Chains A and B, each alone.
Chain A
């Protein structure tokens, strides 16, 4: 007589590697939003000022949440752009140049066409998006047609972009003072400025592209196994080119929000976006090898990065530590997301 033996215990299969990797970023985010108020509470306790944990926290407040979200929005757009590329197993390091060029061209066009959104100057917005798309397309062409690894092709294109932005501005700052455009930051609905809602809408659009279009599915196909995708008749070159073009559009969107937030367009507008966005993507759980992760991971990743940056200020950690903490975070995130059995060596 044969007995039916229970297969693997449900407890063991509950905590699979895949599942841990999938939910870890969100848990980290929740943990961070609780741990910073705790340090704050501890600090107050030492100084003899007691406050209720979470309730009276300076960190855990709507005002601070708005601050974190405002800081997050431009980086979120850039990070979403690069998410598509990383999903394909490539990388795009050109964002600093692209953001600067888009910001500067937008500002020039905006001012020379009237200087207010109520005039023809609104055309500067689509113009900036087109510029981003063109830069992304060129970037993709250099990578795909010249067969240069994407990290190097895009790094070089980033240098070209920054140089081009510098050429356009000659080092000057261009002020964009139109009240209607700046209402992105100044007008608030339910405590949050409009730019947060714009970013949310763009995130939903990105999610739609990723999960409801052929292009989005092709990104996963290329990232999951390029040879296989190619063998099954997919035009991989075309998918890559479209990916880089799409990333360029999102970089341009990031540029618009960055200008909206600060009111200034300059060569330095793009500074720091590279490291922050790459950090956000990998910390969010999108694997550098491609095929795993997506837009929601990136949203969580961007929030983690900005919560850390903001929280460190709130609990009084010195600002110089931030770059180092992010650097270590990237290494940890990549290490955790790497399945060592499937990698023989890396360059």
Chain B
């Protein structure tokens, strides 16, 4: 059996092996309540990674997600009093606009996505600093509970946060596999020149992909903000690396075209298990970034489709 045939199955095999390893070393890992809280903790990251999947699926990348989530935590906190639940719409709109601008700059102005999204991330950072007055802000507890308290309840033992994540996953999965837009994404990711030649409006597909990435990042920021009951221009820092890792270890390669949102779900769980293992092995938080950086390199090297790079790797 060749490696190329095992490759698509590698993510879930990795997940299974990791879970077994961690479980054997520490049987309390399988405690349902503990496991459930681990999964719930990873929800904002998962939502951000879901959005990132769309950007990577078309062969781009979105480096603005972290700053965008930061901006949304600030917007949500500042405008909660004014709009109530409606602040969610403001957040989603902000995410859509920033993402769409990144997409526009990438497709129409020919700026590579890693530069355009990096730059838009700094624009978002500026906006976050402006809205927050460069301070850490806190939500009014009563207002938070009346508007967004439902996010953190339980129904029959299932946390609502998890339900939100699953609903978004189903939505993203539907978008990716059951719509024309999803097929176009696949076409663009598999080979952009071919997609252009067959008359697809590639620019529109790419702009939408970045906009979706922005929307999911905004939702992640909103949930994170409500969870921590506040907003700050640096609150979501540290998410970017983990979101990219989640997408790539899930099996969506940097070159795009294969993988997808279900892979990202597996990838996020892998990240979660690695994190749990590090806590168990008493590797403290400061070293985790290093470990995930190395995991990232390994994941890219394993998944990337080198035939698409046409011999030249810049």
Interface of A toward B, CB cutoff 8 Å: 88-91, 142-144, 146-153, 156-164, 166-167, 170-171, 226-227, 275, 278, 282, 288, 290, 318-328, 330-331, 334-335, 338, 340, 343-347
Contacts and interface: CB of A to CB of B under 8 A. Distances in A.
Contacts of B107: 345-346
Contacts of A344: 193
B112 A156 contact: no
B151 to A, nearest CB: 30
Interface in B253-307: 254, 286-294, 296-297, 300-301, 304, 306
Chain B contact surface mostly: helix
Given A156-B300, A170-B286, 17 more contacts: A89-B314, A151-B61, A153-B297, A156-B293, A157-B297, A159-B290, A159-B293, A160-B293, A162-B289, A166-B289, A171-B286, A226-B312, A227-B312, A320-B130, A323-B123, A327-B121, A327-B123
14 contacts: A91-B314, A147-B304, A151-B114, A152-B300, A156-B294, A160-B290, A161-B293, A166-B286, A275-B118, A320-B130, A320-B134, A321-B126, A326-B122, A345-B107
Nearest to A340: B110
B119 interface: yes
Contact of B290 (A143, A167, A343): A167
B45 interface: no
Contact of A338 (B110, B119, B291): B110
Contacts of B301: 146-148
Contacts of A331: 105, 109, 111, 115-116, 119
Nearest to B128: A320
Nearest to A89: B314
A32 B288 CA distance: 43
B110 A323 contact: no
B115 A278 contact: yes
A89 B312 CA distance: 11
B15 interface: no
Contact of A345 (B126, B196, B241): B196
A14 to B, nearest CB: 27
A275 B122 contact: yes
- By CB atoms of chain A within 10 A, which of B105, B109, B122, B294 has the most? B122
B122 A163 contact: no
In order of increasing CB-CB distance, the 9 nearest A-B pairs are: A324-B126, A163-B290, A163-B289, A160-B293, A320-B129, A327-B122, A159-B293, A327-B119, A327-B123
A342 to B, nearest CB: 10
Interface in B68-118: 105-107, 109-116, 118
B202 interface: yes
Given A146-B301, A149-B309, A163 B288 contact: yes
